[in-house]
Amino acid sequence: MTPTALTSGSVAVVTGGAAGIGLAAAKRFAELGLRLCIADLGADRLVRAAEAVALVGANEAADVMTMETDVSRIDDLRRLERAVHNRFGGTDVLMNNAGIQPGSAMFGPADIWERVLAVNLWGVIRSTQVFVPAMIKRGRSGLVINTGSKQGITTPPGDPAYNVAKAGLKAFTEALQHELRNTPNCRISAHLLIPGFVFTELTARGRTEKPAGAWTPEQTVDFMMERLEAGDFYILCPDNDVPRSLDERRILWAAGDLVENRPPLSRWHPEYAKAFEAFSRKTG
């Protein structure tokens, strides 16, 4: 069954909602009759997003609002929460989707590390701390959906700042769900969306056509909605190249580094290449 929070008349806030997965989610929520606030950077992008959402929404365009918001700034988030409350009376669905991936190096510029952590990790922490207490007090069914990454689980080499942020986001979202389920009279649940390869502004890297291996944002949101209906906390998305079975083997191998006392990131260690290849082919 569709979660009660995703029914007509509920209120959803989507950060990073002007494009990609965030915009696809906003459209889907609007189709279900939710009232929407799209938060992102760029006034022109927000106008286009609001128009696109209004076209598919079950309600009037007046049920879609936008606000320029830098999620790394606590004052922006407080202003956003107040504006949504003033317009719609409160929030039922919070999708912390805003994220950046400029690329990073272990000994690269400190400002890149600081910005990635400020948006991808602190943005989610602060948004949750600003919105969720009022969502609990509201007494209605609700959802917090945090957009994570497989890079925060298997932490592949190449972009350490992003990995650190998304690994922290995973731990935060797990702790959040534990807190919510142990809060008396709380009807809010948290969920970790873990996309596969999705063709968005963030991943395009100059390409104008979707690679064959990538999913569209709409496919990702379709899967997210299906797994929310099933009550999943970990929404682990496949794509056209990587089935869930391979994701599971990669995750199990990464956890095995600690259990088996292998070198960290042994999946990319030449001495373990054959062992991982054999392990990844296993079934069951």
Distance separating alpha carbons of residues 63 and 83, to the nearest angstrom? 13
SS3 assignment, position 282 = coil
Q: Token pair for residue 9?
A: 């008349």
Q: How many residues does the chain have?
A: 284
Question: In sequence order, which residues have a C-beta less than 8 Å from that of residue 141 and are 6 or more positions away?
Answer: 3, 4, 5, 92, 187, 188
> Which residues pair with residue 146 across a beta bridge?
96, 192
127 is catalytic: no
Q: Token pair for residue 151?
A: 């890079």
Distance separating alpha carbons of residues 114 and 130, to the nearest angstrom? 21
Nearest to 132 by CA among 76, 176, 167: 176
Q: Exactly one of 104, 127, 149, 266 is catalytic; which is it? A: 149
Q: Exactly one of 162, 189, 266, 272 is catalytic; which is it? A: 162
Q: Exactly one of 72, 127, 166, 272 is catalytic; which is it? A: 166
Distance separating alpha carbons of residues 106 and 103, to the nearest angstrom? 11
Distance separating alpha carbons of residues 214 and 211, to the nearest angstrom? 6
| Beta carbons of 231 and 35 less than 8 angstroms apart | no
Question: In sequence order, which residues have a C-beta less than 8 Å from that of residue 9 and are 6 or more positions away?
Answer: 33, 34, 35
137 is catalytic: no
Residue whose tokens read 């999946």: 267
274 is catalytic: no
The set of catalytic residues is 149, 162, 166
